[in-house]
Amino acid sequence: MNRIKKAFENKKAFIPFITGGDPNLEVTKKLLIAMQEAGADLIEIGIPFSDPIAEGVVIQAADERALAAGCTTDKLFDMVKTVQDEMNVPIVFMTYVNPIFAYGKRKFMKRCVECGIAGVIVPDLPFEEKEELAESCREYGVELVSLIAPTSHDRIRMIAKEAEGFLYCVSSLGVTGVRSEITTNIEDMIDKVREVTDIPCAVGFGIAAPEQAERMAAVSDGAIVGSAIVKIIAQYGEECVPYVKEYVKKMKDAVLRA
């Protein structure tokens, strides 16, 4: 069984997201270990991008902080490589297609394998364009995670059929960021997925409170939380690690209740 799927084995998964290099790579490294200790089942690291069009203001600001602090794709790979022996949970990169394209698609995937990165999530690479990266992903065995959105409707089956790793279910319209309420009928989306595949489905976008995570995990295989964590990092800066750890633990407990 591949590593990503294994994160969902016999349990609901809690998946935290942090922007790599925010506030700096040393802290990112500590966060990876702390979040694993707090019960994270899979961790998403964002490669900061100058123009993250799928992100709300919280993660946009994190990308700006990370880039200003000098984070680059190479430095991020190097940091992950130093921590990979300590990581038992899979790590995936979330980034936009251009940083991968500019790095060199095959070179990027090769580095992923060397550093223990199990997959990539690329929000501006829809189903119709996924061949752009799929070939180099296949060559190196890096899983290309697909996304479905509340507007996907009849596209869900087509996307789910070819999905790898897990399926990222976008809970709401618009961009990433904390929402007081998630109104999309997630069950409906997942029912459509289940018609064609048993791939794990995790829900992301807008989740911040433990009750939301519990509710989303109850109707899916896991919950993804980004902006709420990035906000804690923004608030506490280099001192953020214990606060993030505590939050992840609380969220993981909520997901386990689901």
Partner 1 sequence: MSKGRFGGYGGQYVPETLMNAVNELEEAYEMYKNDPEFQAELADLLKNYAGRPSLLYEAKKMTEDLGGAKIYLKREDLNHTGAHKINNVLGQVLLAKKMGKTRVIAETGAGQHGVATATAAALMGMECEVFMGKEDTDRQALNVYRMELLGAKVHPVTSGTMTLKDAVNETMREWANRMDDTLYVLGSVMGPHPFPTIVRDFQKVIGQEIKEQMLAKEGRLPDAVIACVGGGSNAIGAFYEFIPDEEVQLIGCEAAGLGIDTEKHAATIAKGSEGIFHGMKSLFCQNEYGQIAPVYSISAGLDYPGIGPEHAMLAAEGRAQYVPVTDEEAVEAFEYLSRTEGIIPAVESSHAVAYAMKLAPEMGRDKIIVINISGRGDKDVAAIARYRGVDIYE
State the residues that interact with partner 1 by CB under 8 A.
Answer: 49-51, 53-54, 56-57, 60, 64, 67, 72-74, 97-103, 123-129, 131-132, 146-153, 155, 159, 170, 173-175
44 is catalytic: yes
* Residue 248 Cβ vs partner 1, minimum distance, rounded to whole Å: 26
Whether 256 and 11 have beta carbons less than 8 Å apart is answered as yes
Which of 55, 143, 164, 214 is the catalytic position? Answer: 55
CA-to-CA distance for 80 and 92, rounded, in angstroms? Answer: 11
* C-alpha dist (Å) from residue 166 to 10, 70, 223: 14, 31, 12
55 is catalytic: yes
Is the bond into 126 cis (omega within 30 degrees of 0)?
no
Judged by beta carbon, residue 101 or residue 243, the one nearer partner 1 is 101
Judged by beta carbon, residue 85 or residue 181, the one nearer partner 1 is 181
* Residue 176 Cβ vs partner 1, minimum distance, rounded to whole Å: 10
CA-to-CA distance for 93 and 96, rounded, in angstroms? Answer: 10
Q: 13-19 and 43-46 as β-strands: parallel, antiparallel, unpaired?
A: parallel
Dihedral sign for Cα atoms in the order 2, 10, 256, 30? negative
Measuring CA to CA, which residue among 47, 175, 63 is closest to residue 112? 47
Judged by beta carbon, residue 64 or residue 253, the one nearer partner 1 is 64
Whether 67 and 86 have beta carbons less than 8 Å apart is answered as no
Judged by beta carbon, residue 39 or residue 150, the one nearer partner 1 is 150
CA-to-CA distance for 178 and 41, rounded, in angstroms? Answer: 21
CA-to-CA distance for 30 and 193, rounded, in angstroms? Answer: 36
* Residue 252 Cβ vs partner 1, minimum distance, rounded to whole Å: 27
**Residues in contact with 180: Cβ distance below 8 Å, sequence separation at least 6, in sequence order:** none
* Residue 48 Cβ vs partner 1, minimum distance, rounded to whole Å: 8
In 8-69, at which residue ranges do the beta strands (DSSP E only) sit?
13-19, 43-46
Which of 9, 37, 44, 195 is the catalytic position? Answer: 44
Judged by beta carbon, residue 113 or residue 173, the one nearer partner 1 is 173
CA-to-CA distance for 145 and 38, rounded, in angstroms? Answer: 24
* Residue 191 Cβ vs partner 1, minimum distance, rounded to whole Å: 18
* Residue 182 Cβ vs partner 1, minimum distance, rounded to whole Å: 14
Judged by beta carbon, residue 132 or residue 253, the one nearer partner 1 is 132
Other CB atoms within a 10 A radius of the CB of residue 170 amount to 23
Catalytic residues: 44, 55
